[in-house]
Chain A
Amino acid sequence: MKAFDLVQARTVQEAAGLLPVDPADKSAMLLAGGQDLLTELKEHLAEPDRLVNLKGIPGLDAMTWEADGTLVIGAMVTVQDLEEHTRVRETLTALHEAAASVGSPQIRSVGTVGGNLNQRPRCWYFRSEEAHCLKKGGTHCYAAVGKNRYNAILGGFPSYIVHPSDLATALVALEAEVTLVSPSGERTLKLDDYFTLPREGSYQRETVRLPNEVMTSVRVPAPPAGMRSTFLKMQERESYDWALSAVALCLWMDGSRISDARLVLGGVAPKPWRCASTEALLQGRSPTTEATARAAGADALKDARALSDNGYKIPLTQGLLRRALQKLGA
């Protein structure tokens, strides 16, 4: 790890002011829980001269419920505190289940919600110091023709990373918003719009965050009454791992039929993959029938393009969706 100076910010404004304005200027980075950042530093993926510490800024680690039931999660709330929050477990089950599936107990105890949403991809070419890949300013996405069993089947071109955040998958399904603060002000945008596909912008970043913006909070609007939700994740190791595939599903029922649905896939695309046409298809159907599972699975993956080693992700994701429909419809 290259030597750096650790600067303690006292306010969000001060932290934002210590960050570079120019995207090409990599001299300073934000430190939250550090559970991803320290591995990037050790692998020389990032070599800043200065880390701006967000820990200790008052208010960033608070979870508050507004009168209308909107949940505001400070960016420095730990994944463990989110996981253990009783009202989250009872009313936003998919978010609780996603938090519980993140990393190991040690990582959840330190890792933060903001850090989880802003972690960098796990693609082994990106993580390898030796591979100067497209995401690091090179000319090739080595996963496109190399070893790609963990890479994207949806929205990948021309960089086939998958977004590693489990919280992001659940939070997009819950239509969360994020607030970003910079020296010139504050903006709030849908989390779905915060993430970006490689073909939409720079290959080297996963979000639209400007270099001098600090994510301060995530707002989860109160869901319409009657929501049932779940987050299901398939991982290679039982103990802890990133998602090979994940499904976040929110359902509203009218008797035995689905009246509304939200569906987001994780682990299969460079950003949480919202399936709007599948949500429409599910309306009026019974969630537990095989016909529904088949129709929804076919629609959700209709644009999937498998690389050489990751075709298994298509039936895997369809199986997770079937399980999620059966669980919520039971």
Chain B
Amino acid sequence: MRILRFRLNGDDVEIAAPDHWTLLEILRYRAGLTGTKQGCDKGDCGACTLHLDGRSVLSCITLAADADGRDVTTIEGLVSASGPDVVQDCFDEAGCLQCGFCQPGMIMASRQLVTENPAATRAEIKAALAGNLCRCTGYTKIYEAVENACRRTREGGGAAAAGVTRAAEDGADG
């Protein structure tokens, strides 16, 4: 058992876990954050995608110890006092889900793309989401949602609601 201290969705947390537990396991079974999904559990499907120091990673094949001292943002961390993140809004408006299991991972991967490249082309969006499987929709509506999130961010109003940006700023002071 080891005690891990890290920033989780803007809060400092302490979590104790065995060395062989993954980041996904401590989030779901210790922190009670079940937004991050356990899909294939071996790095193939992207459902467990979250941000570690702002980079999208697969929490099912990341050891919990890797979070120690770092900044973790999950789907729960995207919602701010002013409401859902622009990417969440755009996924909602596009109606781009059926079962919804892939959505937290899709949104986290999309959130990183929109932050880094709000001028992303359709090809760049497809490349950024290559690691996220959706078995229901056929992806078209998902790509449209990300395009809308990019457009709204370019037009202003997207960045202010971005949980990633907020978490990164918090991380910089502590």
Contact = CB atoms under 8 A, between A and B. Distances in A.
A43 B42 contact: yes
B130 A38 contact: no
A106 B109 contact: yes
A38 B22 contact: yes
Contacts of A110: 55, 57-58, 62
Given A106-B109, A110-B58, A239-B130, A39 B19 contact: no
B131 interface: yes
Q: Could you tell me the dominant secondary structure of chain A's interface residues?
A: mixed
Interface string A101-113: 0011111011000
Interface residues of A, number: 27
B63 A106 contact: no
A3 B55 contact: no
Contact of B130 (A4, A51, A240): A240
A3 B20 contact: yes
A267 B24 CA distance: 32
Q: Could you tell me the dominant secondary structure of chain B's interface residues?
A: mixed
Contacts of B49: 106
B57 to A, nearest CB: 5
Contact of B61 (A35, A51, A55): A35
Interface residues of B, number: 27
Given A4-B19, A55-B66, A110-B57, A104 B42 contact: no
Contacts of A35: 43, 58, 61
Interface string A37-61: 0110111000000010101000000
A60 B65 CA distance: 19
Contact of B55 (A4, A41, A109, A240): A109
The listed residue with most A CB atoms (<10 A of its CB), out of B58, B126, B127, is B58
B20 A106 contact: no
A109 B56 contact: yes
Interface string B59-99: 01111011000000000000000000000000000000000
A105 B65 CA distance: 21
A53 B65 CA distance: 10
B42 A106 contact: no
B100 interface: no
A34 B109 CA distance: 20
A107 to B, nearest CB: 7
Given A106-B57, A239-B130, A239-B131, A39 B18 contact: no
B26 to A, nearest CB: 14
Nearest to B131: A104
Given A2-B20, A3-B19, A39-B42, A106 B65 contact: no
A104 B135 CA distance: 17
Nearest to B126: A239
A3 B18 contact: yes
Contacts of A51: 19
Nearest to B112: A105
A107 B45 CA distance: 11
A34 B22 CA distance: 11
B20 to A, nearest CB: 5
B57 A42 contact: no
A107 B20 contact: no
Contacts of A42: 41-42
B128 interface: yes
A104 B109 CA distance: 11
19 contacts: A2-B20, A4-B19, A6-B20, A34-B63, A35-B43, A39-B43, A42-B42, A51-B19, A53-B65, A104-B132, A105-B127, A105-B131, A106-B49, A106-B58, A106-B109, A107-B58, A109-B56, A109-B57, A110-B55
In the A-B complex, list the 6 residue pairs whose CB atoms are closest, starting with the nearest: A104-B131, A38-B61, A6-B19, A239-B130, A109-B55, A106-B131
Interface of A: 1-6, 31, 34-35, 38-39, 41-43, 51, 53, 55, 80, 103-107, 109-110, 239-240
Given A39-B61, A105-B109, A240-B130, 11 more contacts: A1-B20, A6-B63, A38-B62, A41-B20, A42-B41, A53-B65, A80-B55, A104-B46, A106-B109, A107-B131, A239-B131
Interface of B: 2, 18-20, 22, 41-43, 46, 49, 55-58, 60-63, 65-66, 109, 126-128, 130-132
